[in-house]
Amino acid sequence: MLLLESMIDKLKSTFYNSVDFTAKEISWPNEEYAILCYYSSMVNKSDVQNQINVLKVQASVDEEKWTETMAAVKEPFQMEKFVDYICHGETIILLLTEKQMVHLTLPEIPHRSPDEPINENILRGSHEGFVENVDVNIGLIRKRIRMPNLVVNKMEVGKETKTDVYYMYLDNVANQQSVSEVESKLKLMQEKTKSLYTAGEVGDYLEESVYSPFPQMLNTERPDRVFANLVEGKIAVFTNISPTVLLGPVTFFSFYQSPDDYNGRVLVGSFYRMVRVFSFLTAVFLPAFYIAIVSFHFEILPIELSKKLRLDISEIPYRPIIEAMILEIIIELIREASVRLPQAIVQTIGIVGGLVIGNVIVTAGLVSNMMVIIVALTAISSYVVPSVEMNMSIRILRFPFMLAAALAGFFGIVIGGFVLFIHLLNLHSLKSPYFSPIVPFEPKKIKQIFVRGPFVKPSPQTSSFDPEGRKK
């Protein structure tokens, strides 16, 4: 009895006497001392009780393999494993005389229902979204791909947090080099990381150029988007702490595709895809272009427009770059405020920020009407992208271009444009070319950037810069 009590105390102290950790004596057939351990916050108590009842009956008839149920496994007691199981929400029955433990995999970890993600709305199609439970998330994919070659592998990352990271791909479709790349990077992460807080940290390890403004993994919370990418040979990385799934290898143009493209008509889907790609140019270059014109190249404008514009900006005390910066910073402040505030107040912020400040700032003579138009158009263009990360990257990118235009006019934009595109050519996502199918040039696939064709067999993504590699 003394042994039992001291054991229970020891177990409790192992878990720092947490109030939700339970360790109590239970009666067990053919066993003098048995202890039941679990985190009350992580198990479904009625399921556990039912399972214990079943096991007790099987043990009492002295069945040889009495632990063989779907949820139970018997194994020799090891303190390290014991702690690990408990932390994963499992229930453990310790059989002290036999020095064995039976662990019941019946965790109940709270999660939301799979509602549509608020940051990836679509008009038609599935309205399901991922949740903070990886079993539910994998289930949502398996519901769509009922094939045995949909492989799911797991790695435990974070020496302290022990977060499960899963990667999923279609065998025979996914590029094996990319799968190995994911595995090796996750292994590296396993060795180096103490704690894993967000899916973004996994993204940092998987991306090859962390300081690039362009995301090299596509983040999504939509199962239909993951499904569409898996059949194209991509790899999906899940965590059990976040609804965000990372997809790779991706191209720059993957960020401009939306599940809505395939939910609508061919022509409609194609038109909006073109609009989105065009929005990249306006979102990045439009303010820079305007600054270059009003600072250096007034002569390119037709006389009528030139006169109006000169009149408009002649009353502004600041240089165009300062004007643009004032407005851009206001837009960024409004955006940041509307993200953090409750939904009910966001509309007020929109009205105050957009209408009141926009109107007053022009009346006060701080910025010109034309600049308001340009910055508003730029902001709208940047929000067209159906990916939050790419949207943010684009918004940041326009600042260096504005600066280059203010310093050297069109010359600055051309030089900056060259640097931007060379950077895009140099990038790769899980060793695959990022700017495909433009570079490496694949004329047959280029139309897919702009046009959503009638759905036929999906084609795997290009995986190499090397023409020999592409032929393989």
Question: Shortest Cβ distance from residue 432 to other proteins (Å)?
Answer: 12
Q: Which is nearer to other proteins, 192 or 297 (CB)?
A: 297
Cα separation, 102 vs 35, whole angstroms = 10
408, 445, 451, 460: residue in contact with other proteins (rule CB under 8 A): 408
Question: Shortest Cβ distance from residue 365 to other proteins (Å)?
Answer: 28
Q: Which is nearer to other proteins, 197 or 411 (CB)?
A: 411
Cα separation, 376 vs 378, whole angstroms = 5
DSSP state of 107: B
Q: Is the dihedral of CA 207, 210, 214, 215 positive or negative?
A: positive
Stretch in the footprint of other proteins (CB under 8 A) among 18-26, 327-335, 387-395, 409-417? 409-417
Helix intervals (H) in 300-342: 303-314, 320-340
- Interaction between residue 468 and other proteins (CB under 8 A): yes
Q: What are phi and psi of 194, to 5 degrees?
A: -90, -45
Question: Shortest Cβ distance from residue 341 to other proteins (Å)?
Answer: 42
Distances (CA, A) of 97 to 27, 145, 303: 13, 47, 97
Helix (H) or strand (E) holding 32: strand 31-39
Q: Which is nearer to other proteins, 95 or 294 (CB)?
A: 294
20, 307, 421, 447: residue in contact with other proteins (rule CB under 8 A): 421
Q: Which is nearer to other proteins, 29 or 440 (CB)?
A: 440
- Interaction between residue 414 and other proteins (CB under 8 A): yes
Q: Which has the closest alpha carbon to 430: 184, 221, 193?
A: 184
- Looking at the DSSP bridge assignments, the partners of residue 74 are 102
Q: Which is nearer to other proteins, 15 or 410 (CB)?
A: 410
Q: Which is nearer to other proteins, 383 or 410 (CB)?
A: 410
Stretch in the footprint of other proteins (CB under 8 A) among 160-168, 174-182, 250-258, 416-424? 416-424
With the CA atoms of 321, 327, 331 and 332 taken in that order, what torsion angle do they form, in degrees rounded to the nearest 10?
40
- Interaction between residue 197 and other proteins (CB under 8 A): no
Q: What are phi and psi of 58, to 5 degrees?
A: -65, -35
Question: Shortest Cβ distance from residue 316 to other proteins (Å)?
Answer: 22
Q: Which is nearer to other proteins, 358 or 433 (CB)?
A: 433
Question: Shortest Cβ distance from residue 304 to other proteins (Å)?
Answer: 10
Cα separation, 76 vs 258, whole angstroms = 51
Count residues near other proteins (CB under 8 A): 30
Q: What are phi and psi of 38, to 5 degrees?
A: -170, 165
- Interaction between residue 444 and other proteins (CB under 8 A): no
Q: Which is nearer to other proteins, 52 or 430 (CB)?
A: 430
Question: Shortest Cβ distance from residue 461 to other proteins (Å)?
Answer: 16
- Looking at the DSSP bridge assignments, the partners of residue 165 are 155, 239
Query: At a CB cut-off of 8 Å and minimum separation 6, what does 86 contact?
Result: 15, 21, 37, 38, 39, 92
| Residue-by-residue DSSP string for 169-235 | EETTTS-HHHHHHHHHHHHHHHHH-S----HHHHHHHH-S-TTSSS-SSEEE--HHHHHHHHTTT-E
- Interaction between residue 76 and other proteins (CB under 8 A): no
Question: Shortest Cβ distance from residue 435 to other proteins (Å)?
Answer: 8
Distances (CA, A) of 96 to 67, 77, 143, 196: 16, 9, 43, 35
- Interaction between residue 333 and other proteins (CB under 8 A): no
| Residue-by-residue DSSP string for 131-163 | -S-HHHHHHHHHTT---TTEEEEEEEE-TTT-E
Residues between 243 and 302 with contacts to other proteins, criterion CB under 8 A = 297, 299-302
Stretch in the footprint of other proteins (CB under 8 A) among 157-165, 192-200, 353-361, 404-412? 404-412
Question: Shortest Cβ distance from residue 217 to other proteins (Å)?
Answer: 21
Q: Which is nearer to other proteins, 278 or 410 (CB)?
A: 410
Q: Which is nearer to other proteins, 270 or 306 (CB)?
A: 306
DSSP state of 353: I
- In the chain the first and final C-alpha atoms are separated, in Å, by 70
C-alpha Rg value of the chain to the nearest Å: 29
- Interaction between residue 409 and other proteins (CB under 8 A): yes
Q: Which is nearer to other proteins, 163 or 251 (CB)?
A: 251
* Number of neighbouring beta carbons within 10 Å of residue 113: 8
Cα separation, 400 vs 412, whole angstroms = 10
Question: Shortest Cβ distance from residue 418 to other proteins (Å)?
Answer: 5
212, 410, 431, 448: residue in contact with other proteins (rule CB under 8 A): 410
Residues between 85 and 144 with contacts to other proteins, criterion CB under 8 A = none
- Interaction between residue 303 and other proteins (CB under 8 A): yes
Cα separation, 432 vs 208, whole angstroms = 11
Stretch in the footprint of other proteins (CB under 8 A) among 107-115, 149-157, 327-335, 415-423? 415-423
Structure tokens at 348: 């007020």
- Interaction between residue 467 and other proteins (CB under 8 A): yes
- Interaction between residue 422 and other proteins (CB under 8 A): yes
Query: What are the residues binding other proteins (CB under 8 A)?
Result: 297, 299-303, 306, 408-412, 414-415, 417-419, 421-422, 425-426, 433, 438-441, 465-468
